[in-house]
RNA sequence: GGGGCGGUAGCUCAAUUGGCAGAGCAACAGCCUUUUAAGCUGUGGGUUCAGGGUUCGAUUCCCUGCCGCCUCACCA
């Protein structure tokens, strides 16, 4: 009697399971129903549609390379996804795709046995993972082919895959079900393979120059290091709001105070802003800092870094981006923001070094730009409107307004203009990098925070919050330092010729 | 947030002025021992994004919503 209770419960459980399962199966489309029936048939004849293990002796690529070298290949075991099957009657050709390449298989009815041959044609589907063993031969048309002696199912696929010829085009499905994009579109696989090579090359470049890779907090009590709105989250036990980082800067510079002379981090930053073809709410940033360097040190570093990554991805420094030929060969041209703005708009920002006179000048010249709150933002607006679109080849733009650069050191000899040692590199309206001669004067840093606080009070949501903990770190002494930030996604876009950031992020943010 | 374009079979795409919702691939049943998007014969498959409206009749016209793309604005 006591034993009856668990039995009863287990019957109930299996009953509930079947109800849910029936409901689930009922939602299958025609082809999924058919494939499910095949799975049942396979089980009935003793074939496990999802065996625990697979063995292989060669990848497709290794097989093709070895055969091409003239090796005699027998007893080769290949695995992969069945992507094409051409039934000729007593003979069938198939292609399987593994992680390395596509390779043809030949199934002969007399070689594999009538029953097995019938099972292949009746119960195997495109998309299934299979394993096959046999000798490698060349067919009449010259294609390197595995002549199959034995084969097995490695994993049954229930849903049909996108069409072989056109692939998957629907952008929404491509992003939401990236696996379908990857398995049906060669180009998608190439982009992410290149992305991996680029990041590897970046690490190699930095590691070889003595930079130490570190990890700093993503979850922060106070965000900072850039001008952006953060994501806010909440820690329940501490009962306090926390922020997802918008930049790594302030933590990395604390490490310079701690004596790490060269440091970098490649990591996700999060910004609570609009989503478009060049902005994803989470994106990958590389930041690095070099003690006893300055922004000119970082210019050399960034152009070499791009060169190293371009070579790793494409084997060349001559790239094409959206129809424009770009030459990444160092050194890149350098120009001050002042000279570029003067040339393109006729405004000398050093002569009109405060907001009222700059606005008067803009009005005199009848320049159409949005009104800004500060001199620095107006300068930036002039730059964006008149200079940035003209920069096709990679160009260093040097010496930015202090008001939009709260962590960069002041530049001497700029007349009355408040300018700092900062550069951004631009090409085709893309920012390739952003670097400063880092501010290490704690009192100046405090003053900058106060200035940001005023902007904040005036309603600028992106003004930087005060970080006294960081000021305290600077009070303990930070060496003169050059610092650099590079948007990794943007770099990958440039080096893979993609116009949308969503093409270089595996799972980009879409509306939920 | 503004403007424009789009959402049709598992996938890629058609559908005339508002008049039976189609093709190729995939699937299913066959034929075929050297194919390469194999070929041939036959068959099945639709909440036309969702909801409402106009109409004898809506994939088509109108409204609302959802989603995507482009663009402008915002934004490193």
pLDDT in tens, A254-295: 999 999 999 999 999 999 888 888 899 999 999 999 999 999
Q: How far is the CA of A493 from the C1' of B68 (A)?
A: 21
Q: Cα dihedral angle (A343, A345, A350, A354), rounded to 10 degrees?
A: -170
pLDDT of residue A140: 93
Strand partners, A92: A87, A107
Task: Provide the total of helices (H) and of strands (E) in chain A, helices listed first.
Answer: 16, 18
Percent residues over pLDDT 90 in chain A: 79
Sign of CA dihedral A426, A431, A432, A435: positive
Distance measured from the CA of protein residue A173 to the C1' of nucleotide B48, in angstroms: 19
* A95 nearest nucleotide via C1' and CA: B36
A253 and A444 Cβ atoms separated by less than 8 Å: no
Q: For A127 and B73, how far is CA from C1' in angstroms?
A: 45
Structure tokens belonging to residue A312: 């790793």
A72 CB below 7 A from strand B atoms: no
Please report, rounded to whole angstroms, the spatial distance between the CA atom of protein residue A71 and the C1' atom of nucleotide B32.
Answer: 34
Q: Contacts by A219-225 with C-beta closer than 8 Å and gap 24+? A: A219/A243, A219/A244, A219/A245, A220/A244, A220/A245, A222/A465, A222/A467, A222/A469, A223/A247, A223/A465, A224/A249, A224/A250, A224/A464, A224/A465, A224/A467, A224/A470, A225/A249, A225/A250, A225/A407
Angle of the A337-345 helix axis to the A375-382 helix axis, nearest 10:
60
The answer to whether A336 touches A399, Cβ cutoff 8 Å, is yes
The answer to whether the C-beta of A461 is closer than 7 A to strand B is no
Indicate if CB(A286) is under 7 A from strand B: no
pLDDT at A491: 96
Are A194 and A201 spatial neighbours (Cβ–Cβ below 8 Å)? no
- Distance (Å, whole) CA A254 – CA A270: 21
End-to-end CA distance of chain A: 52
Q: Is the CB of A171 under 7 A from strand B?
A: yes
Please report, rounded to whole angstroms, the spatial distance between the CA atom of protein residue A99 and the C1' atom of nucleotide B64: 47
Distance of alpha carbon A188 from alpha carbon A504, whole angstroms: 9
Can you give the distance from the CA of residue A153 to the C1' of nucleotide B40 in angstroms? 30
Give the pLDDT of residue A6: 58
**Cα dist from A286 to A30, A272, A428, A484, whole Å:** 48, 19, 21, 8
Q: How far is the CA of A172 from the C1' of B53 (A)?
A: 30
How far is residue A462's CA from residue A456's CA, in Å, rounded to a whole number? 7
DSSP A209: T
Nearest residue to B74, CA vs C1'? A274
Question: Which pLDDT belongs to residue A446?
Answer: 96
| Any strand B atom closer than 7 Å to A462 CB | yes
Q: How far is CA A206 from CA A113, A264, A288, in A?
A: 58, 8, 9
Say how far apart CA A17 and CA A38 lie, in whole Å: 22
DSSP state of A156: -
Determine the protein residue whose CA lies at the shortest distance from the C1' of B69: A171
Instruction: Please provide the DSSP assignment of A47-76 as one string.
Output: --SS-S----S--HHHHHHHHHTT----SE
d(CA A287, CA A268): 11
CA-wise closest residue to A481 among A421, A429, A433: A421
Find the Cα–Cα–Cα–Cα dihedral A144, A146, A147, A153, rounded to 10°: -150
CA distance readout (Å), A192 to A146, A171, A173, A226: 29, 17, 17, 28
**Residue A319: Cβ within 10 Å count:** 19
Q: Comparing C-alpha atoms, which of A203, A182, A204 is closest to residue A193?
A: A182
CA atom of A144 to C1′ atom of B33, Å: 18
A281 beta carbon < 7 A from strand B? no
- The token pair at A60 is 């497709």
* Both structure tokens of A293: 């360097």
Q: What are phi and psi of A132, to 5 degrees?
A: -145, 145
Could you check: is the Cβ of residue A125 within 7 Å of any atom of nucleic acid strand B?
Answer: yes
Residue A140 CB lies within 7 Å of the nucleic strand B: yes
A30 C-beta less than 7 Å away from strand B = yes
Give, in order, the Cα–Cα distances in Å from A208 to each of A197, A212, A256, A262. Answer: 16, 10, 19, 11
In the structure encoding, which two tokens stand for residue A64, read together? 């093709």
Task: Identify the segments of chain A with pLDDT beneath 50.
Answer: 1-2
A329 DSSP 8-state letter: P
Is the shortest CB-to-strand distance from A28 to strand B under 7 Å?
Answer: no
Which nucleotides in chain B have some atom under 7 angstroms from a protein Cβ?
1, 9-13, 24-29, 31-39, 44-45, 66-76
Give, in Å, how far the C1' of B41 lies from the CA of A189: 39
Q: Which residue is nearest to nucleotide B6 (CA to C1')?
A: A170
Check whether residue A166 has its CB closer than 7 Å to nucleic acid strand B. Answer: yes
Note the ipTM here: 0.90
Using the structure, give the distance in angstroms from the CA atom of A164 to the C1' atom of B16, rounded to a whole number: 32
Which A residues 398-457 have CB within 7 Å of strand B?
400, 404-405, 422, 424, 431, 434
Q: Is the CA virtual torsion A262, A268, A270, A275 positive or negative? A: positive
Residue A1 pLDDT: 42
Read off the pTM.
Answer: 0.92
Element (H, E) at A308: helix A295-314
Residues in chain A: 512
Q: Is the CB of residue A465 inside 7 Å of nucleic acid strand B?
A: no
Residue whose C-alpha is closest to residue A336's, from A423, A434, A403, A438: A423
pLDDT of the residue at A163:
84
Which ranges constitute the DSSP H helices of A177-294? 178-184, 186-208, 249-257
């Amino acid at each position: 009697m006591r034993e009856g209770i668990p039995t009863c419960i287990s019957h109930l459980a299996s009953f509930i399971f079947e109800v849910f399962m029936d409901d689930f199966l009922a939602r299958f489309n025609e082809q999924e129903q058919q494939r499910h029936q095949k799975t049942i048939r396979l089980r009935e004849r003793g074939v496990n549609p999802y065996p625990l293990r697979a063995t292989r002796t060669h990848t497709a690529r290794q097989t093709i390379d070895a055969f091409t070298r003239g090796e005699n290949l027998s007893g080769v075991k290949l695995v992969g996804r069945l992507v094409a099957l051409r039934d000729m009657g007593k003979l069938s050709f198939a292609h399987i795709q593994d992680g390395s390449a596509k390779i043809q298989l030949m199934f002969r009815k007399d070689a594999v046995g009538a029953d097995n041959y019938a099972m292949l044609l009746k119960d195997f589907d495109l998309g299934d993972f299979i394993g096959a063993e046999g000798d490698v031969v060349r067919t009449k048309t010259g294609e390197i082919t595995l002549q199959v002696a034995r084969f097995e199912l490695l994993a049954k696929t229930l849903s049909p895959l996108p069409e072989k010829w056109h692939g998957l085009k629907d952008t929404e499905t491509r992003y939401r079900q990236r696996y379908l994009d990857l398995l049906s579109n060669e180009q998608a696989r190439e982009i992410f393979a290149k992305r991996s090579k680029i990041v590897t090359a970046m690490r190699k470049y930095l590691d070889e120059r003595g930079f130490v890779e570190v990890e700093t907090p993503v979850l922060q009590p106070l965000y900072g290091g850039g001008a952006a709105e953060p994501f806010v989250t909440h820690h329940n036990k501490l009962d306090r709001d926390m922020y997802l980082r918008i930049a790594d800067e302030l933590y990395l510079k604390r490490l310079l105070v701690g004596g790490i002379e060269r440091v970098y981090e490649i990591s996700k930053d999060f910004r609570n802003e609009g989503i478009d073809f060049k902005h994803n709410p989470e994106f990958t940033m590389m930041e690095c800092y070099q003690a006893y360097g300055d922004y000119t040190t970082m210019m050399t570093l960034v152009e070499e870094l791009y060169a190293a990554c371009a070579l790793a991805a494409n084997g060349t420094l001559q790239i094409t981006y959206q129809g424009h030929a770009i030459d990444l060969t160092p050194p890149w041209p350098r120009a001050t923001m002042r000279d570029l703005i003067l040339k393109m708009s006729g405004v000398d920002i050093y002569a009109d070094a405060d907001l009222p006179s700059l606005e008067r000048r803009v009005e005199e010249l009848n320049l159409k730009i949005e009104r800004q709150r500060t001199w620095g933002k107006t300068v930036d607006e002039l730059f964006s409107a008149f200079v940035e679109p003209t920069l096709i080849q990679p160009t260093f733009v040097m010496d930015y307004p202090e008001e939009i650069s709260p962590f960069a050191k002041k530049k001497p000899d700029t007349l009355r203009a408040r300018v700092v040692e900062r550069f951004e590199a631009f090409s085709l309206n893309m920012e390739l990098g952003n670097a400063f001669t880092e501010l290490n004067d704690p009192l100046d840093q405090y003053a900058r925070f106060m200035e940001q606080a005023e902007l904040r009070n005036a309603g600028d949501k992106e003004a930087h919050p005060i970080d006294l903990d960081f000021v305290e770190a600077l009070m303990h002494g930070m060496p003169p330092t050059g610092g650099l930030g590079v948007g990794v996604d943007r770099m990958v876009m440039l080096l893979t010729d993609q116009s949308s950031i969503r093409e270089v992020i595996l799972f980009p943010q879409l509306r939920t």
